[in-house]
């Protein structure tokens, strides 16, 4: 995959998406959503460093990272292993990249959500585009997946025109990365659960400037750079 380290042509952009390393909520089997209580475990820090080592030598023109701590910690661990590293002036903490908002489930164990919100959970898995929750601040119904897609589309629209001929590193979350991939490929929110994003998995998109940006998915959820024990499922 040496091509991944090559500089894009003047009419192209390569975006390298990385999901954060294992977090405390991941290890505990709890829903995170956009809660910022979760931080990286020691395993999460280790796999982030492995990912940075794998990407060492990559010329990164700009780093975009979620505003949540687990993603920022991942980016910090990665950059400690990367040479050359991206200049601090090109590091952008972006609110649009935070994880999906799931206020009713955040902090709850997955098994408890499946038991207590059985119908909602079935809709979440089978028809994510129709899944809704109540906003605790406004008491109004909102659609988490649709809202996340809106953020992802806004992110691409705002940044792509500024990075022609460049390579971008984006450190974010499972749901956010899936929304970024799907919106780039013009897939609807119904396909939200279609692409797996593992902790520190790498996905790569290439954008081509024509009348509008067209997109090619070059890599989906690469984990070969991680040590075997990092990928062993927990009992």
Q: What is the 3-state secondary structure (H, E, C) of 142-178?
A: ECHHHHHHHHHHHHHHHHHHHCCCEEEEEEECHHHHH
Give rounded-to-5 percent helix, strand, coil for the chain.
40, 20, 40
Closest residue by Cα to residue 143 from 157, 127, 122, 119: 127
To 10 degrees, what angle do helices 174-184 and 144-159 make?
60
Task: Determine whether 224 is an active site residue.
Answer: no
Structure tokens at 187: 């897939």
State how far the Cα of 222 lies from the Cα of 18, in Å rounded to an integer.
Answer: 9
Question: Contact at 8 Å (CB) between 173 and 26?
Answer: no
Task: Determine whether 99 is an active site residue.
Answer: yes
Backbone angles phi, psi at 54, to 5 degrees: -60, -40
SS3 category, 186: coil
Q: Which of 12, 20, 73, 77 is catalytic?
A: 20
Strand partners, 214: 208
State how far the Cα of 120 lies from the Cα of 54, in Å rounded to an integer.
Answer: 40
Q: Which of 77, 99, 163, 173 is catalytic?
A: 99
Closest residue by Cα to residue 173 from 92, 73, 85: 73
Who contacts 122 (Cβ-Cβ below 8 Å, separation ≥6)?
A: none
* Active-site residue list: 20, 99
């Amino acid at each position: 995959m040496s091509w991944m380290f090559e500089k894009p042509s003047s009419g192209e952009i390569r975006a390298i998406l990385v999901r954060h390393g294992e977090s405390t909520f991941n290890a505990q089997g709890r829903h995170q959503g956009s809660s910022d209580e979760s931080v990286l475990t020691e395993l999460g820090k280790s796999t982030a460093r492995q990912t940075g080592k794998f990407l060492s030598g990559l010329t990164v023109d700009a780093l975009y990272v979620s505003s949540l701590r687990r993603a920022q910690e991942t980016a910090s661990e990665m950059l400690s292993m990367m040479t050359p590293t991206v200049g601090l002036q090109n590091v952008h903490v972006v609110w649009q990249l935070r994880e999906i908002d799931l206020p009713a489930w955040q902090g709850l164990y997955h098994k408890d959500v499946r038991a207590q919100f059985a119908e909602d959970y079935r809709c979440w898995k089978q028809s994510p585009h129709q899944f809704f929750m109540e906003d605790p601040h406004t008491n109004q119904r909102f659609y988490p997946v649709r809202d996340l897609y809106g953020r992802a589309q806004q992110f691409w629209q705002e940044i792509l025109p500024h990075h022609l001929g460049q390579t971008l590193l984006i450190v974010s979350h499972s749901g956010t990365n899936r929304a970024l991939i799907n919106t780039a490929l013009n897939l609807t929110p119904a396909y939200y659960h279609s692409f797996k994003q593992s902790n520190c998995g790498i996905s790569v998109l290439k954008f081509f400037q024509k009348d509008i940006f067209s997109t090619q998915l070059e890599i989906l959820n690469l984990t070969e750079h991680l040590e075997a024990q990092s990928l062993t499922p927990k009992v």
